[in-house]
Amino acid sequence: MNLQDSKYATFALVREMMETTEVVRKFDPMVATSYAEKAMAKKGLFLTGEGSSRIFPAKRAMYDILKWGAKIPVYTDGSTQAMEYALKDLAVFGASNSGKTKEVVRLFMKLREEGHDSLFGLTANENTKLAELAHETHVLNCGKEDAVAATKSVIEQGLFYDAMIRQMLGKCMCGFDELPDQINTALTSVIDPEIILAAKNADKIYFAGRNNGVVEELTLKTNEITRKKSEFLEGTYAVHGIEEVMDKNEVVIIVEPFLSEEEKFMECLVKGVGMKVVAISSRQTSFPTFIIPEGGKMAPYVELAAGWNLLVEIGMALGIDLDKPTRARKIGNEFFV
Q: Does 157 lie in the same domain as 219? A: no
Q: Does 201 lie in the same domain as 134? A: no
Which residues, at least 6 apart from 92, have a Cβ–Cβ distance to it below 8 Å?
Answer: 46, 48, 107, 108, 111, 116, 118, 119, 120
Collapsing DSSP to helix, strand or coil, 233 comes out as: strand
Q: Does 61 lie in the same domain as 147? A: yes
Q: Which ranges constitute the DSSP H helices of 141-233?
A: 152-169, 179-188, 193-200, 214-226
> For residues 113 and 330, what is the distance between their CA atoms, to the nearest angstrom?
29
Q: Which of 67, 66, 303 has its CA nearest to residue 185?
A: 303
| Last residue within a domain, chosen from 139, 169, 199 | 169
Whole-number average pLDDT of the chain: 94
Residue 56 lies in a domain: yes
For 139: left if phi > 0, alpha if psi spans -120 to 50, otherwise beta; the answer is beta
Q: Does 272 lie in the same domain as 128? A: no
In the chain, which residues have pLDDT < 70? 326-337
Q: Does 165 lie in the same domain as 195? A: no
| Last residue within a domain, chosen from 122, 140, 169 | 169
The tally of domains found in the chain comes to: 2
pLDDT at residue 113 in the model: 97
For the domain that residue 38 is a member of, what is the CATH number?
3.40.50.10490
Q: Which of 62, 86, 83 has its CA nearest to residue 73?
A: 62
Angle, helices 179-188/299-318, rounded to nearest 10 degrees: 20
Predicted confidence (pLDDT) per residue in 161-187, tens digit: 999 999 999 999 999 999 999 999 999
pLDDT at residue 2 in the model: 82
Q: Does 139 lie in the same domain as 196? A: no
pLDDT at residue 327 in the model: 60
Which residues, at least 6 apart from 20, have a Cβ–Cβ distance to it below 8 Å?
Answer: 142, 151, 152, 155, 183, 187, 305
Q: Does 24 lie in the same domain as 89? A: yes
Q: Does 219 lie in the same domain as 122? A: no
Q: Does 30 lie in the same domain as 150? A: yes
Residue 317 lies in a domain: no
Model-level pTM?
0.95
Domain span at residue 147 reads 6-169
Residue 309 lies in a domain: no
Residue 286 lies in a domain: yes
pLDDT at residue 332 in the model: 63
Q: Does 152 lie in the same domain as 54? A: yes
Q: Does 67 lie in the same domain as 205? A: no
| Last residue within a domain, chosen from 134, 169, 204 | 169
pLDDT at residue 169 in the model: 95
| DSSP category for residue 125 | S
Residue 83 lies in a domain: yes
Predicted confidence (pLDDT) per residue in 277-310, tens digit: 999 999 999 999 999 999 999 999 999 999 999 9
